[in-house]
Structure 1
Amino acid sequence: GSCVLVTLEGTRPMLVEIQALVDQGGPSPRRLSVGLDKDRMAMLLAVLNRHAGVACADQDVFVNAVGGVRINEPAADLAVMLAITSSLRGKALPRGFFAFGEVGLAGEVRPAPRGQERLKEAAKLGFTLAVVPKANAPKKAIPGLTIHAVERVDEAMNIVRGIS
């Protein structure tokens, strides 16, 4: 599975593909991430299980930020979770889709800094569909961009199930 993330490189918005592979694990499932914090990934897997009903406890989970990019911001959380879910379901996210947002332990989706700039950059590059934190939803529509604003991780999963 994969999901495009709009991250910040300094002050500039940059689009990065997050790839995930979920595979049948052995007695001790592996968790490996490249370009992302592995402890944060473990936390996101627990939140996925608890608040979205997506269980990966017996699966090997591998996550990669494409292009050797190192992502240090929590705004990547939602894209990582959607990529993992996409791989687990064996169903790709729609073309032109992207996501960003920090996810808390209670399953809430928190806003990312400079959300409007992230949305405008993605729209400028031809992306057409987004799942973002409700607090980052623009007050005025961005031409060509359909935005699904969510407050909780289970809402994001339900939206993605409906569109993919």
Structure 2
Amino acid sequence: TNKVSQLISIPANPAIDLKLQGLHLIEASAGTGKTWTLATLMVRLIVEGGFFTRQIIATTFTRAAAAELKARIRKSFENYRGVLKQAMDAPEATLQQAVAQKDWLAVHLLQTLNIDQQGHAQNLLQRALDTFDELFVGTLDSFCQKLTSEFAFDSGQYETLHISEKDAELSYQVLHQS
């Protein structure tokens, strides 16, 4: 099977333990690892779930957080593609390095994927990088804007709708219209 011979116990980790079906909400205080968790889940969705980038949606509240998340996802795709490539030549050394770095996703992948699956996973991550622009990572309002633009005709709207950023002004107009 060409799996690593040593089985390492992975500490409980929601990003690794979470099932890849259904809707999930990741909510936590600042600095608790939400971005890492989402980037880890994206790797798992590609490698274990077999999803295409165009099938995945990740939303957050600010444009800055969305930009950071997207950059971290890309970096994770690149990193784990490299880990899997390295493991093709030196599986035990790669596993030991992952354990030393407490990179539990790498440990998980190296222990659950045989050599053929690791090669396939590398290809899936490369495809994800090649189609990275199809991955939607943005704010909730930008996701709504995307939906109103892409499905305007289906919704009966014949002109493009836009989400306004003038909340206070529009609220005032609605409240004070006679």
What TM-score does the superposition give when structure 2 sets the normalisation length?
Answer: 0.25
Higher strand share: 1
Decide which structure has the larger Cα Rg and report it: 2
TM-score, length-scaled by structure 1: 0.27
